[in-house]
Structure 1
Amino acid sequence: MKWGQMRQSGNVEDRRGRGPMLPGGPAGLGLGGVLLLLLGSLLFGANPLDVLNQIQGRAPTQTQEAPAADDPDSRFVRSVLGDLEDTWSTLFERSGQQYEPPRLVLYSGAVSSACGSASSAVGPFYCGRDARVYLDSTFFDRLAQNFGVSGDFAAAYVIAHEVGHHVQNLLGIMDQVAQRRARSDPATANALSVRLELQADCFAGVWGHYANRRGLLDFGDPEEAIGAATAIGDDNLQRRSQGYVVPDAFTHGSSAQRVRWFRTGFESGDPERCDTFSVRNP
């Protein structure tokens, strides 16, 4: 991916090396809770609907914002975020709306957000309460070590998925899903969460479509994202962690579902094609 040709965003703040310490893991979690968090670190795109079940409930501490450092990791993140801002600003303008970009917080170890405090085990997540994406600086290394998934476009897919949740937030989709979940039985509520995640995958593909049209992708980049989506599908994660698959316990969708919806967005470039809530079988 030619991320060096992308505009760098100014909406990145760097909290690496100065985040809140969470000795012993989040308070109140036993071994089972810690294992859930470890499993969560293997999943892409945690959002508040999932993260709030895993992170501490105390109010965030005040943290002074700081611009991102000028190291390769932060330059990469700023470049991808800047291109995402440009793409979604154009798409929102076409529909008569104004895009309000999120801030992205780089952190290490642990971080406080308006949704609570989280350790790096939670993985990347979006908090709608403060319109921020939170990304641990070592996540991509863990992704490569645990799954053999590497490549700059695979990493960009992670960021694009989280920004996809921000798009959902701006469009009111996250609130609608939260209201429907509150009125639903557990199985239905869980299925709604899966559809929300799959739509974020599709939105990530939409961004990839336009990055590709602008000549910013290299040969094999789409396959990197597809490989990542395959590796972190719920069925693959469950099979790796427990040896069998429980579809009713999915939180982000199967490998096939994640690949399908990323491809839908990537091939069409049309956010309207990302309606995962109207199809019978997402």
Structure 2
Amino acid sequence: MQLNVIKWERLWWSISSLIILAGIIGMVISYSTFKAPLRPGLDFIGGTRLQLQLACAVEKTCDQPIDTGEVRNILAAQDLAGSTIQVLEGNILSIRTKTLDVDKRTQLQQELNDKIGPFDPETIQIDTVGPTIGKELFESGILALLVSFFGIIVYLSIRFKFDYAFFAIVALFHDVLVTAGIFSILGLVAGVEIDSLFLVSLLTIVGFSVNDTVVIYDRIRENFEGSPDLSVNQVIDISVNETLTRSINTSFTTILPLIAIFLFGGETLKYFALALIVGFTAGVYSSIFIASTLLAWWRNRQELAKS
């Protein structure tokens, strides 16, 4: 069975447009709430993050989860009412707040020990990032992303033609927007924050997606040269079908270990893996259904203009 990509091009474009539109709405709401299109983590806005685990959890004797309302009251009493509170697995407390010095951290930890329950000192994690460092991380990440886009345009323009390069970049923007949009929604509904690893994931997604697009474009170019009697739509449909199995298998085998990391890799890598899962899925979709169909649309317009 052959996949007729060009016949259903408007369906593929509509699906992508709806997902991207939902993400843009999420980013607008997020900006009005957090002053950023995605909910920023400690890496970008600066502050202190405390993570503590109840001692009873280590001994597996806890009979009830941590009460976030009680934690919020403790923070409010210490003028930290705007802090973000997360309870992980019922007995791990994560608090993100404004920058605290050693004395204030010690006082907060003591209050939590006295009123919530004893925490295991060996599991305490404390991270402090200044806002200047956070700003530098963000600017460096965005610059790296823009440089990668420019390099891809130059490479594809030399290897193929400029229209190939342009639509490959459109597909990459599609993948980045889908990933960012989904994470903006997750930030609103599930409190998911982005950190420097999120920018790393975007760069990884760009590299993976352009590789898949280049494989399809390479076959399209070969078939254009080898079958000049076929129409643009026929060439692109044939090319996509010839590379379809390879694209799906490569993506599937890449996503499988990422799912394992998401499920069992711990909190540090969990959302990094999720971003890659979303981005790689969007990447294989855009390579097959967006980059190829847009190229066909453009080449057909060129042929009509010549006739």
Q: TM-score, normalised by structure 2?
A: 0.27
Greater helix fraction, Structure 1 or Structure 2: 2
Higher RCO (C-alpha 8 Å, min separation 6):
2
Q: TM-score, normalised by structure 1?
A: 0.29
